[in-house]
Amino acid sequence: MQILLPAVPIIKDTFQVSNDIAQLTLSLSMFAIAIGTLVYGPLSDKYGRRVIMLLGLVITFAGSMFCYFSTSIELLILGRFIQAFGGAVGLVLARAIVRDIYGAEEAARVIATLVMVMVVIPMLSPAVGGELMNQFGWQSIFIAIALLCILILMLTINYLPETLKEPVPFEGVRAMLLIFFRLFKSPAYCGYAFCVTFVSVVFFSFISAAPEIMVSVLDRPPTEYGYYFIMVPLGFMLGNYVTRYFGHRLELNQLITWGGFISVLGITLAFILLSSGIKHPLALFAPIAVSVFGNGITLPNAMAAAINEFPNFAGSASGLTGFLQMGFSAVAAQVVALIFNGTVYPLLLMMFAAAILSLVSLKLGVSAERHGGVV
């Protein structure tokens, strides 16, 4: 997803389209991930993690090649949709596999480690995407993704065992919806899942708008985005490390809450610096890195807590959480493009609102569970 971000302004110029149309290469791909997460979870609960993982990787490869040969913005958006639908399999099944192997108490810490590993490549990918774009053109980004997909496919075939011990019967869409309805009846699950959702909106709102802000607001070349962006996942990784270190010492909800408050603090700091007239990328990226540090604490703990509510339906719980996470983020990414007014403030307002809603979701869900109510 993120390797294409530096190319979005170039794609806009190449196909002579508006910013909000070019943004569909990101927002619709996020929506495809949302749909994929909804589908892969229940399928993996019935057919196993390994075979569904392989299927998703094949779809990702096909979508990447479709993007490479696209000759119009419509075909490129369609290719990105296919590519992202396939790639969603890793987001869902990696978490479900962790839950298959580890118990409830260890899952949060292991998912924190997993997420830390998962952000290493996204940390480098915008910079890599920018260099590929400079050297070989923006279409070369899709060849790089296709080659990486082949590598992951080979590693999966050779090294990933089947971790699902007891398949869950799946009898079609109606049965899947019944499982999701059962998940939604749990106040605690809803609280944690929507906490994950709004934390993700904070992050994806930023990455969707930041490349255009670099060019239009901060007057910097799009290739610089990748280098400043490295600060953001570094903050996330540090938050993951805090989760691993303090996971044994602090109560889970306490960690999630502290992460949420840190996220709000970082966004507030960005407001203060930019409104004071400081027109430098560090005035935006440094405080957002602080905010994402808080997200790095909140996200793995809330995600693990949501999945742990229904260990027998780990794939479905992971899938539904991923659907909410990416579906809301896709809408937010497109809304950010629509409300962009030449300043950074609409973005920061959306991020601030999402950070507050993540805390509210947690509070309402946990309180309802304690009092035996419903969300």
Mind listing the pLDDT tens digit for each residue in 181-228? 888 888 889 999 999 999 999 988 898 888 888 878 888 876 677 778
How many residues are given for the chain? Answer: 375
Q: What whole-number distance in Å separates Cα of residue 25 and Cα of residue 29?
A: 6
User: 101: number of CA atoms within 13 Å, CB side?
Assistant: 15
Q: What whole-number distance in Å separates Cα of residue 301 and Cα of residue 107?
A: 9
pLDDT of residue 292: 92
Q: What is the DSSP letter of 164?
A: -
Identify the segments of the chain with pLDDT beneath 50.
374-375
Task: Give the residue extent of every domain in the chain.
Answer: 2-164+172-369
Concatenated DSSP letters of 165-207: SSPPP--SHHHHHHHHHHHHT-HHHHHHHHHHHHHHHHHHHHH
166: exposed, middle or buried (Cβ count in 10 Å: 0-12, 13-18, 19+): exposed
Q: Which of the following CATH numbers is that of domain 2-164+172-369: 3.30.465.10, 2.120.10.30, 1.50.10.20, 1.20.1250.20?
A: 1.20.1250.20
Mind listing the pLDDT tens digit for each residue in 104-122? 667 767 776 776 677 667 7
User: 37: number of CA atoms within 13 Å, CB side?
Assistant: 26
| Alpha-carbon distances, residue 252 vs 73, 109, 259, 362 (angstroms) | 45, 10, 11, 11
Q: What whole-number distance in Å separates Cα of residue 26 and Cα of residue 265?
A: 27
Q: What whole-number distance in Å separates Cα of residue 126 and Cα of residue 130?
A: 6
pLDDT of residue 374: 45
Q: What whole-number distance in Å separates Cα of residue 321 and Cα of residue 191?
A: 11
Residue pointed to by tokens 């910097």: 220
| Both structure tokens of 234 | 């570094």
Q: Show the beta-strand stretches assigned E in 36-109.
A: none
pLDDT of residue 375: 42
Closest-CA residue to 4 (of 122, 95, 179, 167): 122
Q: What whole-number distance in Å separates Cα of residue 138 and Cα of residue 142?
A: 8
CA gyration radius, the chain: 20
Encoded amino acid at 317, one letter? A
